[in-house]
Structure 1
Amino acid sequence: DVELSTSNAGAAMLPAVSTGELAIAVGNPLSVMTAADKGLDMKIVTGYSASKADGEDVNGVVVRKDSGIGGWEDLAGKTTSVNALRTQGDLTIMESAEMAGANPKDLKFSEMPFPDMEAQLDRGNVDAVWLPEPFLSRALGDKDNELLGYPNQEAIPGLPTMVTFTSGQFAEENPEVISKWKAAMAEVLPASDSDPDAARAMLPDFINMDAKVAEGLLMETWEAETPIEELAKLGDLAAKFEFLEKAPDMNNLIAK
């Protein structure tokens, strides 16, 4: 008895969740924090996915080998493409550059769809691109490209990439639904994480992904438990760079 709705961006789902058009959604936690920062009564219900704390990660920054960009600090004065401004991509890259000794205010960002980034990098229209899988592996398949690094691992290892969220009103009025949702996530997400091959096998039918791409796709970490510590770090970082007016009160942001 579940009706599914899809969206290309988590931020687009926030108004629909706020008004009750959508009951529960899956999206970027920073978008949820931004909505709460602007006064919307949003609640994170569970965790969902996270980047890898070490090793190969699910998103990274790619540059041309002849770019002269050898570290995060070299992005100062350069233009990096991200899919959306003032979200996890530019936030973690700014933090990575600052940790490497650069002034994050010297970094430049442009907004661009992921499928367009590799071509624009090749043409020299941008200096670096922030890409998730499967775009990351495809870009690194070009012998003239190289990986600069994984900004999520630099900024917040194990950074939550997606959470499930609802409105405060829906959570208050539908505690049984929220309880069942949490139980469902606690069942399916660990199952997906423990058997990534089975999860990959679903992708061609479920999201029309090419079967060969799906077979070699690096999967995120899937975890239903709400990653409060990492979310708090994300909120603090977003406040530090003024993506938010202030860091969120996690007690108010997390659905009980």
Structure 2
Amino acid sequence: MRRILAAVAVLATLSAAAACSSDDKADKPAGTKVDVGVIAIIDVAPIYLGKAKGFFRKRGIDLDLVPEQGGAPIVKGVLAGRYQFGFSNVTSLMAAQADGAPLKAVASGVASTGRAGRDFSAIVVRDDGRIRTAKDLTGKTIAVNTLKNLGDTTVRQSVRKAGGDPARLKFAAMPFPTMPGALQSKKVDAIWVVEPQLSQAMTMGLAVLSSNFVDTAPDLTVALYFTSKDTIAKSPGLVTGFTEAIKESLAYADDHPEEVRDVVGTYTPINDTVRIGMILPNWPQDINRSSLDQVARLGEQDGIFKRQPALDDLLP
């Protein structure tokens, strides 16, 4: 009799374990593998936080974040099917859309703080007094991460606003992490950087010349998360899940600045001085449409766009 009772107990335990295992699997879906093109800068901290916090996993998304140098190659990656989603500055997306690329934004990506001298983006120069205002950049070489892009547009606007000639600027493409060293060694006259490279530049004795995002538009929407229209047509549920997860990630990042500072160090090397000193951007839920209208006008004026971008078709 005891043996029978013991066997029953074992069977009950195994059944309970099987039930728990089944419940665990239900709570933790296997996940659809999703590749997302990103840039190793502070802008994308929310998606790294969202992955760590399980915001994507709970929606059945197994997220893989792939670093690229800038928005333009990420756009190409999404169009080629290498990435299901991407993070890109608004100029890259507008240029692609104006050329007929079937892209659609799904959520806001990052926005300027709107505070001159306290934004997460800046034009930086050597602190030797030779370049005192953005007007003095006329005829000089400025490093940007990719050519004919957001860096060009916003740097030109700072120069224009200061009374200089935006048509007489020279741009050199290089990755953000190499820019402070290139400026210090006089390979270029100025650099356009965002955090954490902005704070890194400050620790090297370099100086902020102008806040180019603030010069361009109040509370500029700088970048967006996006996908292809083909992905929207074929996998609408995936797009909905990703959009919900990234919006939850943006809200979490806005509410937890210290976790933002910590997570940045997991995908790009920074020291404690830079981590503590970084100027954090804003991560609003809403897209500032009027700021994008301004970027579209400037891009067309500066010859970046072949035709006026159709923002109504691009934006969600």
Q: What TM-score comes out, normalization by structure 2 length? A: 0.73
Alignment of 1:14-33 (within 5 A): 14-33=75-94
Structure 1 match to 2:171? 109
* 184-193 or 222-231: bigger deviation: 222-231
State the 1:175 CA deviation. 2.9
State the 1:67 CA deviation. 4.2
* 96-105 or 228-237: bigger deviation: 228-237
Letter in 2 for 1:10: G
State the 1:112 CA deviation. 2.2
Structure 1 residue 87 and structure 2 residue 143: aligned? no
SS of 1:184's equivalent in the other structure is helix
2:277 and 2:188 map into 1 onto residues whose CA distance is 28
Structure 1 residue 207 and structure 2 residue 264: aligned? no
Residue 201 of structure 1 contacts residue 215 of structure 1 at CA under 8 Å; is this kept in 2? no
1:6 and 1:23 map into 2 onto residues whose CA distance is 11
Report the count of equivalent residues: 253
State the 1:193 CA deviation. 0.6
Letter in 1 for 2:64: L
2:223 and 2:120 map into 1 onto residues whose CA distance is 13
Alignment of 1:74-153 (within 5 A): 74-143=136-205, 145-153=206-214
Residue 45 of structure 1 contacts residue 226 of structure 1 at CA under 8 Å; is this kept in 2? no
Gap change, CA 1:106 and 1:203, over 3 Å in 2: closer
Structure 1 match to 2:64? 4
Gap change, CA 1:20 and 1:65, over 3 Å in 2: closer
Letter in 2 for 1:40: A
Structure 2 match to 1:49? 110
Gap change, CA 1:74 and 1:59, over 3 Å in 2: same
CA distances 1:165-217 after superposition (whole Å, capped 9, x unpaired): 0111222333333332222222221111121112222333x315446133433
2:85 and 2:176 map into 1 onto residues whose CA distance is 26
1:41 and 1:64 map into 2 onto residues whose CA distance is 42
State the 1:33 CA deviation. 1.4
Q: What TM-score comes out, normalization by structure 1 length? A: 0.89
Structure 1 residue 231 and structure 2 residue 302: aligned? no
State the 1:61 CA deviation. 1.3
Give me the identity figure in percent. Answer: 28
296, 300, 304: which one aligns with 1:243: 304
State the 1:154 CA deviation. 0.5
Residue 133 of structure 1 contacts residue 217 of structure 1 at CA under 8 Å; is this kept in 2? yes
CA distances 1:6-37 after superposition (whole Å, capped 9, x unpaired): 03133222233224342221222211112112
CA distances 1:50-99 after superposition (whole Å, capped 9, x unpaired): 12111511121112232421111111111111122111112111111112
**C-alpha root-mean-square deviation of aligned residues, in Å?**
2.0
2:239 and 2:176 map into 1 onto residues whose CA distance is 33
Unaligned regions of 5+ residues in structure 1, if any? none
2:188 and 2:129 map into 1 onto residues whose CA distance is 11
Residue 146 of structure 2 contacts residue 174 of structure 2 at CA under 8 Å; is this kept in 1? yes
Q: Which has the higher contact order (CA 8 A, sep 6+)?
A: 1
